[in-house]
Structure 1
Amino acid sequence: MSVRSELVDAAVHEDVFDRSYPDLEARQLEAARELFAERREQIPVLRRRAAESGVDEIRSLDDLVPLLFAHTSYKSYPASFVEQGRWDRLLQWMQTLSTQTVTDVDVEGVTDVDDWMDRLRAAGHMVLATSGSSGKVSFLNHTRGDSANKQRHYRRMSGWPYVKADNSRVVFLTSPSKGPNSAIEAAVNSAAVWARPGEAHFLTDEPLRLADISASAALNKRMAEGLATPGEIAVARVQAQVRAERMSAALDDFVEKLLAHRHEPIVVSALWAQHMAIIDRAKALGVEDGGFHPDSLVSAGGGLKGVTLPDDYKERVDRFYGKVIRNNAYGMTEMAQTCPKCQCGRYHRPPGLIWLLLDRDGERLLTADDGEDGVVEGRFAFLDLLYEGRWGGLISGDKVTIDFKDCPCGRAGPTILDTISRYAQAGESDHIGCAGTIDAYIRGAVAP
């Protein structure tokens, strides 16, 4: 077994964070060297970047820094490829980021982006997309093996360190049950590892359609520019009203089922705004705060873009569910392996995920010596050793603080403190060093 496989497979061990991994950093470096040697031959963009930065081998973690992609790399295709239905060109773009051949996928007769993704997935390329609320989605290629390994990882991490996922619970997930979206994949994985047969309850079974989201974002942009016609706006408003009424009815049914099971251990996962909507409906039904089984798992996060919530929304959610298990983890769309939070409120590192803390510009690797008493703030980057479908090295927009010492919970460090924020707010640009050069390589390879 390769060192890389050994580290990724460590996630299945129940004591994955409690056991000792001698020389873990040295083994991660060996795994990174092994993975780079393989991916450089498969991904032309990575090979070109390595040649221009003078990296022919990973001798230290510093060598990884110029090879990291930015999250924007995965939406660096020209928008015209989707708008004009140039599906073969979109395949060519995806080929620049994929380890396997995707350009041979049959796209004859494809009608929209959802149809395009269906063709890819039928051919074994389990592509995921981000929400596209800004008008352009990211496309992230996976193999079927990647998808299976992500679910295996999720089974071990999602309840840690409190309880083990054993398919014994009623599960409530405020997302659609279908759609090639990363958030939906996470919800489906949650149902797969926690729910007993027939007891996974999603908000809706209507598939999420990327074409609808993109069309809505495009209309919003035209409205802001004063280019949308009154007819377009009127039709969109009627459609939005119909959908809102349908989702409101679905949420009423969802909350009724949730409250019926609140006295037994359940799993509830929702965005903050969705939790607040649940609370509003429960209060209207006369349900008081608390009353949920203390062994229930309740997770919350995100969903604040374009939403106005009261200043004390987190406290309200805490009061409503009461003393339940508030499991949480740090992760992102581009990262397969999440980092679960311990009882001391710190995020721990799976052995198969290499953490790279960079300076603000994303150009220099920081170490324990760059902070006081081993506590250092910087930009979070990583190399995820799990992926087979693409290069797993990425620079994020997150500002994190890493304590390189052992955790107060008694487990080995490093750990990420629960102070995560963004370097740039919505609508602001976030310059990330050499990663922009990689985006330019990709765009140049598929210039329209």
Structure 2
Amino acid sequence: MTPVRRQLLDLCSAPDHYERDAREIAEMQLLAAQELFEQRIEQLPLLKRRADDGAVTRIGKLDDLLPLLLPHTAYKSYPPSFIEQGRWDRMLQWLQTLSVENLGDTDIRDVSGVDDWVDRLWAAGHQVMATSGTSGKCSFLNRSLRDREQLREYFKVVMGGFLGLTPKQDRPVFQLFPKGGPNYGVQSSLMNAELWGRPGDIHFLSDEPLKISEVSRAATLRKRMKEGVATPTEIADFEAESAAKNRQSQVRLQQMVEKILAHRHEPIFLSGMWAQHWIIMQTARAMGIGDGEFHPDSLVAAGGGLKGIALPDDYEQQINRFYGNVKRPKNYGMTEMALMLPRCEAQRYHVPAGLIPLVVNANADELIGRVDGVVEGRFAFVDLLFEGRWGGVIGGDRVRIDFAPTCACGRRGPVLLEPITRFAAPGEDDHIGCAGTIDAYLRGAVEA
């Protein structure tokens, strides 16, 4: 790894991470971007093409990065027929255009479906992350084994760093998620369990891995229902399967709740969705357990939607009162980005030194200049951690970034402000100006 890039990534895990002058970090980030650009332009023909089209020969200013950013939609730009027809060789060829590593060592003989295809990639050492949006089409993003090792170092500080806690593998861990699957959230849960969990006292909601095919199928059906083309049989079958799985999940959750409550007087690590925390609270109240009985050094993370569960308007406040004065970590992140942004006491998300934050206009064809204050637009970035792929991405979130030198919490550097919303409405495609050109190049590379 190049020297300046290494310095920035090491700084991400250092105690004085957010005490450095933001201007100093910004200067180092440009140098690191140039180092990385020199490497990746020789490894990724797509990046070379983008550089040539944008007449970029070196990274001397932030504007030079704009033509090199890939829209987040590029990672699902393969023709759907490749999966529908089982053309796993073509899928591998498509993924290669976005990957630094050679994927040729992946055994794709007799692949039985998309989950099997991803499993084969993992077996060959390519830790592909998959995510399915509301359209039902999965994005696939390669991650190397080295990426995971570097990310693990960052995870040692990102969950508890702002809260005065460090992982010591000494506490019960309860992750209300599946134990496996090629999903960034699931893999983050596994990493946190490794770092914080006491051996023999690590618990997941299910040992069954999250299947991308099932997530994609659910999203596709929701889209078909919205369009009015789903058949009654399709809907009935899906609802029956969903109800059965929900019953199984509720049984598992109730079993885990008993363990969680039994450990409430010692520091634990607990992470789940708001609806799951509501069930924990309701069960505790039925057992006569009141508010505020959890150990104050417990880490309790909550997030996500309600998944159709009707809860009162003040459900967050009730759940927070129930857990009491525990530590509540919260981070901003996405599958396309390795380095998450931890939230501080001022409810702001701090940008780590290894991430170059950029704000572009809605069409992503203009970089919005930084000022000593708040800038609003589409979030884009260059994540300097990745070895498995190019880390420059145009995201789908509408953000406000405060580039003032110091946050209200006293830490240095740029921060993201709440609320963070999406540019595209649920079920709609995100229209990014450069996406069509990049998709055409990728299709041409596969069909050549």
What is the CA distance between 1:21 and its match in structure 2? Answer: 7.3
Deviates more, 1:7-16 or 1:297-306: 297-306
Report what 2:322 is aligned to: 320
Equivalent residue, structure 1, for 2:112: 111
2:388 counterpart residue number = 389
Q: Where does structure 2 lack aligned partners over 5 or more consecutive residues?
A: none
TM-score by length of 1: 0.92
Give the corresponding residue for 2:418: 418
1:31 aligns with 2:52: no
Q: 377-386 or 103-112: which moved more?
A: 103-112
Q: Which one of the candidate residues 256, 273, 276 is aligned to 2:275?
A: 273
Query: Which secondary structure state, in structure 2, belongs to the residue aligned with residue 149 of structure 1?
Result: helix
Q: Is the 8 A contact 2:178 2:206 kept in 1?
A: yes
| Correspondence for 1:174 among 173, 176, 179 | 176
Residues 32-41 or 219-228, more deviating: 219-228
Q: Equivalent residue for 1:296?
A: 298
Give the alignment's TM-score, normalised by structure 2.
0.92
Deviation at 1:317, TM superposition (A): 2.0
Q: Distance in 1 between matches of 2:17 and 2:300?
A: 23
Matching residue of 1:128: 129
Number of positions where the alignment pairs a residue of Structure 1 with one of Structure 2: 445
Amino acid at match of 2:394: I
Identity %: 53
Task: Map 1:46-445; keep pairs closer than 5 Å.
Answer: 46-131=47-132, 134-162=135-163, 163-220=165-222, 233-304=235-306, 308-369=310-371, 374-405=373-404, 406-445=406-445
**Separation in structure 1 between the aligned mates of residue 136 and residue 257 of structure 2, nearest angstrom:** 31
Structure 1 window deviating more from structure 2 (304-313 vs 339-348): it is 304-313
The alignment partner of 1:138 has SS state of: strand
Instruction: Using the TM superposition, give the Cα deviation of residue 194 of structure 1 relative to its aligned residue in structure 2, in angstroms.
Output: 1.0
SS in 2 for 1:207: coil
Asked if the contact 1:98/1:389 (under 8 Å) is kept, the reply is yes
Q: Is there any run of 5+ residues in structure 1 with no aligned partner, and where?
A: none
2:293/2:323 contact within 8 Å kept = yes
Separation in 2 of the partners of 1:242 and 1:423? 35
How far does the alpha carbon of each residue in 1:391-417 deviate from its partner, in whole angstroms, 9 at most, with x for none? 101111212222212112222122222
**Which deviations, in whole Å up to 9, do the C-alpha atoms of 1:48-105 show, x marking residues without a partner?**
1111111122121111112111111111111111121110010011011001111442
Instruction: State the distance in 2 between where 1:243 and 1:428 align.
Output: 28
Tell me if structure 2 keeps the 8 A contact 1:347–1:417.
yes
1:200-235 Cα offsets, whole Å, 9 max, x none, are 211111111222333444455556666666665554
Structure 1 residue 384: Cα displacement? 0.4
Amino acid at match of 1:314: E
Does the Cα contact within 8 Å between 2:131 and 2:335 map onto a contact in 1? yes
Offset at residue 132 of structure 1 (A): 5.3
Question: How far does residue 439 in structure 1 lie from its aligned partner after superposition?
Answer: 2.7
Provide the C-alpha distance between the structure 2 equivalents of 1:170 and 1:433, rounded to a whole number of angstroms: 47
d(CA) in 2 for partners of 1:213, 1:23: 43
CA distance in 1, matches of 2:4, 2:76: 32
Distance 1:365 1:22, change over 3 A: closer
Query: What SS is found at the alignment partner of 1:89?
Result: helix
RMSD: 2.3
Change (3 A) 1:315 1:119: same
1:29-61 deviation digits (Å, cap 9, x = unpaired): 011011111111111111111111111221211
Instruction: Quote how far apart the aligned CAs of 1:389 are.
Output: 0.5
Give the partner amino acid of 1:38: Q
1:126 Cα offset (Å):
0.9
